[in-house]
């Protein structure tokens, strides 16, 4: 092989390694009920992201808005990995209008200097997790909230921090939503039971270890998993939490994908600042309460997800990380 050809072959191997590592790291992304509804296809210099309907929630998420949002979080994780490997990446979102499940295409463009912030972000991916315990009594400082809002905006979405009176409106929407979903929706309940509880040996779903062992004291109730889990929690009341609505300008697939990218950007920043994030999506899942949140946002945009932001508990032991599917199950190598 000529020297030029062997250099090109080595370059291609380096690109494949970077893309493969990005898809693998993206597996840590948060997803609704830990369904991990993504599939990656890797070729020598491209990485394609697809929505995988086989792990979709037909009843809870019939139009796949939360699944696509979850895929957006995985997409952002992949971009973080590539930036930390020193790559500038070209991204085409929704590259093929005839195939709406093809959510993004990544192509490595040129090398860039690796910044300490990029390395830190990559390290934070493995540390980030959902913490459903009641919050500690220290409110989140204003400068930290500003940094989280800036992270969301840099990823192309918005974050509206709720005023105290708006938190009561949110609580009313959450109560309304709980009533609508609990009242007799057997199919909704069985989907929830399929994905949550138990020890989850197959690498997806929310295990009992991550579900509180009793109902936390809360103004805005978290998701009712239909049973108590094994996560020990205190009697603390979360009245110092900050609630926020992640929103997009429009309400289509692209906005859901962008909202997911923004969720990841916000969550990684928050984790680095010692701020815990709990996504609350029940009010988004039900059309009536989603409309209620839209009114709370006034003219800002369309609600995509509710977030509870609180100071991480430095003393308590964080819940164990939830399991993930093996990488080879979600990455297809062409
Ligand atoms: C779009 C979306 C919606 C979510 N909704 C909720 C929710 O309503 N309640 C909840 O407790 N967790 C919610 N989560 C958190 C997931 O259950 C969590 O990300 C998943 O179980 C993986 O766990 P990890 O975040 O600790 O890695 C949501 C996550 C995403 C991405």
Q: What is the pLDDT of residue 79?
A: 98
Q: Ligand 1: which of 34, 267, 306 to mutate, most ligand atoms within 8 Å of CB?
A: 34
Q: What is the pLDDT of residue 277?
A: 96
Q: What is the pLDDT of residue 186?
A: 86
| 292-317 pLDDT tens trace | 999 999 989 999 999 999 998 777 67
Torsion, Cα 159 304 284 245, to 10 degrees, reads 0
Q: What is the pLDDT of residue 137?
A: 84
- DSSP letter (8 states) at residue 306: E
Ligand 1 atom, smallest distance to 210 CA: 26
| 95-115 pLDDT tens trace | 999 999 999 999 999 999 999
Q: What is the pLDDT of residue 10?
A: 73
> 30 in ligand 1 pocket by Cβ < 6 Å?
yes
Q: What is the pLDDT of residue 2?
A: 64
Segments of the chain with pLDDT less than 70: 1-2, 181-184, 201, 316
> 36 in ligand 1 pocket by Cβ < 6 Å?
no
Q: What is the pLDDT of residue 1?
A: 54
Q: What is the pLDDT of residue 252?
A: 97
Domains in the chain and their CATH numbers? Answer: 3-128 (3.40.109.10), 142-311 (3.40.109.10)
Q: Ligand 1: which of 279, 282, 305, 320 to mutate, most ligand atoms within 8 Å of CB?
A: 279
Q: Strand, helix or coil at 146?
A: helix
**319 in Cβ contact with 133 (< 8 Å):** yes
Measured over the CA atoms of residue 174, residue 178, residue 271 and residue 35, the dihedral's sign is: negative
> Measured in angstroms, how far is the CA atom of residue 270 from the centroid of ligand 1?
15
Q: What is the pLDDT of residue 4?
A: 81
Strand ranges across the sheet with 302-311: 158-161, 242-248, 302-311, 275-280
Ligand 1 atom, smallest distance to 30 CA: 19
Judge residue 58's burial from the number of C-beta atoms within 10 Å of its C-beta, 0-12 exposed, 13-18 middle, 19 or more buried.
Answer: exposed
């Amino acid at each position: 092989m000529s020297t030029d050809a062997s250099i090109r072959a080595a370059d291609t191997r380096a690109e494949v390694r970077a893309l493969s590592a990005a898809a693998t790291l993206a597996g840590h992304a948060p997803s609704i009920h830990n369904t991990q509804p993504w599939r990656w296809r890797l070729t020598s210099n491209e990485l394609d992201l697809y929505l995988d309907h086989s792990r979709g929630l037909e009843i809870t998420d019939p139009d796949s808005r939360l699944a696509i949002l979850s895929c957006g979080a995985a997409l952002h994780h992949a971009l973080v990995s590539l930036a930390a490997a020193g790559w500038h990446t070209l991204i085409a979102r929704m590259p093929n209008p005839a195939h709406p499940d093809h959510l993004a295409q990544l192509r490595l463009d040129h090398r860039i200097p690796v910044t300490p912030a990029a390395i830190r972000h990559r390290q934070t991916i493995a540390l980030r997790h959902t913490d459903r315990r009641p919050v500690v009594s220290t409110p989140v400082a204003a400068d930290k909230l500003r940094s989280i809002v800036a992270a969301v905006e840099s990823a192309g979405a918005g974050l509206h921090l709720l005023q105290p009176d708006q938190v009561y409106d949110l609580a009313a929407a959450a109560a309304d939503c709980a009533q609508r979903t609990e009242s007799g929706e057997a199919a909704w309940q069985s989907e929830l039971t399929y994905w949550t509880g138990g020890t989850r040996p197959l690498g997806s779903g929310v295990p009992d270890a991550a579900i509180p062992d009793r109902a936390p004291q809360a103004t805005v109730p978290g998701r009712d998993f239909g049973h108590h889990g094994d996560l020990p929690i205190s009697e603390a009341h979360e009245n110092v939490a900050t609630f926020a609505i992640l929103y997009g300008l429009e309400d289509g697939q692209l906005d859901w994908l962008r909202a997911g990218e923004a969720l990841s950007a916000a969550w990684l920043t928050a984790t680095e600042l010692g701020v815990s994030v709990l996504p609350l999506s029940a009010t988004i899942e039900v059309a009536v309460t989603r409309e209620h949140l839209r009114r709370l946002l006034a003219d800002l945009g369309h609600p995509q997800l509710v977030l509870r932001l609180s100071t991480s508990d430095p003393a308590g032991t964080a819940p164990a990380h939830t399991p993930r599917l093996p990488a080879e199950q979600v990455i297809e190598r062409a």
